[in-house]
Amino acid sequence: MSDRLAEIRGRLEAATPGPWWHTNDGWIMAEGGLTIQHWNSDKLQDGIKFGNPKDIDFIANAPTDIRYLLDEVERLQERCDAYKGQVRAGEDEIKQLRKFESDALPILDAYEHMHTRALRAEAENESLRGLKVTGLKVT
């Protein structure tokens, strides 16, 4: 896990445990009746006016969403690591096949050469079988 993801997970773990939810009257709540924040888009709170009512839904779902995203990143990193292992194994296999090929090529060349010689010898034998031998003379 990257340092950045570890920092995010650390903040998530240090926060009030989720899930959180919001009430219709602007409170963000957590299990056990804990109040996380009061939200009122019409009034100032601590000198800040909150203008977008959708922000409360975003904030209330943040712990659950962040945990899901971090878990998904971790799952995908593990899957990626597994693929990297498979790629390394494939690369090792390719190296072994290339070595086998380089070891086998001289043997194949020698076989081809011997096979060609055998075919020539066989053809020569066939032509010699057709000759008649009488005494010391070949006719």
d(CA 82, CA 54): 39
Query: What are 128's two structure tokens?
Result: 């010699």
Query: What are 58's two structure tokens?
Result: 């975003």
> What residue ranges do the domains of the chain occupy?
3-130
> Model pTM?
0.53
Tens of pLDDT along the chain (139 residues) come to 689 888 988 988 888 887 888 887 777 888 877 777 766 655 555 555 555 666 777 888 889 999 999 999 999 999 999 999 999 999 999 999 999 989 898 899 999 999 999 999 998 888 887 776 665 555 5
- The predicted structure's pLDDT at residue 50: 52
- The predicted structure's pLDDT at residue 88: 92
- The predicted structure's pLDDT at residue 17: 81
d(CA 139, CA 88): 70
